[in-house]
Amino acid sequence: MARVLVVGIATLDIINTVDGYPGEDAEVRASAQAVRCGGNACNTAAVLQQLGHQCSWAGTLADDASSAIIRADLASYTVNMDAVQVVRGGHSPTSYVTLNQRTGSRTIVHYRDLPEYSLTAFQQIDLTGFDWLHFEGRNVAQTRAMLDIARHRVPAVPRSVEIEKPREAVESLCEGAKLLLYSRDYAQSCGLTNGEMHDPVAFLQTQQQSVPTAEHICSWAGQGAWGIGRQGKVLHSPALDLPCVMDTLGAGDTFNAAIIHAKLADLPLADCLRDACQLAGQKCAQQGLRGLC
């Protein structure tokens, strides 16, 4: 069991399951609806808890009715919330998710106006009790400062950063991390292609050249994931071959949790990729994150 701090956002996910993705201006009836806590950091924490670790979540919460649902959900996974910063009078970020039961695709419309987690709140966390620190690559200037504080206060504790969306200066979060977890969207936004196709290998090689001290991993949906180690060797793991993809919401967050779990056990990169594709695949074959392991 390791103690893991995850820094990032919580959302209220309102998930409508539909039989085929609706066209614009259509009116369709959902076959099911679920309302629960989401957000990359919180999803990753929920999976890490199920893998036997003790997670603390550092992020902001509003004090509205939705935040009570978010809190209850995280509490049900026994995620520690001591570091949470409450924004009085704030509104919980919401994601309206359309889950296509024919393909498992999840289309997300996200709205947030809640302030991001502050540097002041982060400075109050006692980092000495943690074995791993994981950050969402957002709120760039403040997160960069948090990474620097962590490096200064607990240099031996590994830091991972998820780089999911192309944001201004997000690359500045790569320096000093032990592990960088990229999304396919981010890799594609960097524009490296092999013929007509986006090229995860060229992307990872470029990242490795710019931060050679880190391991770099990029998940690529149904094609699995690629990784590059400090020696520059590129590895690939195929995705699990699923007869039916039920729900891909949070697949990347599950993948990241499984990678952190494998790194905590000091597994070689090839095994990390294999295990993470296995668990993320299992997630795609079921609804939600509960009962994954």
CA–CA gap between residue 227 and residue 246 (Å, rounded): 26
- Could you tell me how many residues make up the chain? 293
Per rule CB under 6 A, count of chain residues that contact ligand FRU = 13
* From 59, 137, 227, 250, residue interacting with ligand FRU (rule: CB under 6 A): 250
**Dihedral sign, CA of 6, 44, 262, 223?**
negative
* From 187, 214, 248, 262, residue interacting with ligand ADP (rule: CB under 6 A): 248
Assess 13 for contact with ligand FRU (CB under 6 A).
yes
Which of ligand ADP, ligand FRU, none sits in contact with 242, Cβ below 5 to 8 A by type?
ligand ADP
* From 36, 53, 138, 184, residue interacting with ligand ADP (rule: CB under 6 A): 184
HSE (side-chain half, CA atoms, 13 Å) at 81:
20
CA–CA gap between residue 135 and residue 5 (Å, rounded): 8
Nearest to 42 by CA among 26, 23, 24, 55: 55
Which of ligand ADP, ligand FRU, none sits in contact with 11, Cβ below 5 to 8 A by type?
ligand FRU
Q: Which 99-128 residues touch ligand ADP, going by CB under 6 A?
A: none
**CB contact at 8 A, 67 and 114:** no
* Contacting range for ligand ADP; rule: CB under 6 A; set: 46-54, 65-73, 249-257, 261-269: 249-257
Concatenated DSSP letters for 91-104? Answer: ---EEEEEEETTT-
Q: Which 84-123 residues touch ligand FRU, going by CB under 6 A?
A: 95, 108, 110
Nearest to 182 by CA among 198, 166, 194: 166
**CB contact at 8 A, 94 and 12:** yes
What is the binding site for ligand ADP (CB under 6 A)? Answer: 183-184, 219-222, 224-225, 239-240, 242, 245, 248, 251-252, 255, 277, 280-281, 284
What is the binding site for ligand FRU (CB under 6 A)? Answer: 11, 13, 38-40, 43, 95, 108, 110, 249-250, 252-253
